[in-house]
Amino acid sequence: MTDDAPARFGYRPIMVPTSETAVSTVRVTTESAAVHVTADADLHTVVAERLPMVVDQSTATIDSTSTSVDLRVPEGMDLVIGTSSGRVQITGSVGSVAVVTTSGKVEIDDAASLDVRTNSGRVIVANSRGEARVISGSGKVEIDHCGAADVTTTSGRIVLRDVAGTARAHCASGKVDITMAGAHDVGAETVSGRISISLPEGTRALIDTLSAGTVAVAGEHDCVVTARSGSGKVDVSTR
- Per CB under 8 A, the list member of 2, 57, 67, 192 interacting with other proteins is 192
Q: Does 185 bind other proteins (CB under 8 A)?
A: no
Tell me how far, at minimum, the Cβ of 137 lies from other proteins, in Å: 8
Q: Is 170 in the site for other proteins (CB under 8 A)?
A: yes
Among 18, 26, 39, 83, binds other proteins (CB under 8 A): 83
Q: Is 177 helix (H, G, I), strand (E, B) or coil?
A: strand
- Which of 74, 82, 139, 165: binder of other proteins (CB under 8 A)? 82
Among 71, 81, 66, residue whose Cα is nearest residue 32: 66
Query: Which residue number, 179 or 190, has a Cβ lying nearer to other proteins?
Result: 190
Cβ-based burial of 109 (10 A; exposed 0-12, middle 13-18, buried ≥19) = middle
- Nearest approach, Cβ of 198 to other proteins (angstroms)? 23
DSSP string, 46-74: EEETT--EEEETTEEEEEE-SSEEEEEEE
Residues whose CB is less than 8 angstroms from the CB of residue 60 and which lie 6 or more positions away in sequence, other chains included: 16, 21, 23, 25, 26, 27, 46, 48, 53, 54
For other proteins, which is the closer residue by CB, 99 or 167? Answer: 99
Cβ(161)–Cβ(141) under 8 Å?
Answer: no
The reply to whether 133 sits near other proteins by the rule CB under 8 A is yes
Q: Select the residue interacting with other proteins from 14, 55, 80, 181 (CB under 8 A).
A: 80
Which H/E stretch holds residue 19?
helix 18-21
Residues in the chain, total: 239
Buried b (16+ CB within 10 A) or exposed e, 56-72: eeebbebebebeebbbb
135 binds other proteins (CB under 8 A): yes
d(CA 184, CA 176): 17
169 near other proteins, judged by CB under 8 A: no
Q: Does 98 bind other proteins (CB under 8 A)?
A: yes
Show the site string, 37-76: x = touches other proteins by CB under 8 A, - = not. Answer: --------------------------x-------------
Judged by the rule CB under 8 A, the positions of this chain that interact with other proteins are: 27, 29, 31, 63, 80-84, 98-100, 102, 115, 117, 119, 133, 135, 150, 152, 154-155, 170, 172-173, 191-192, 230-231
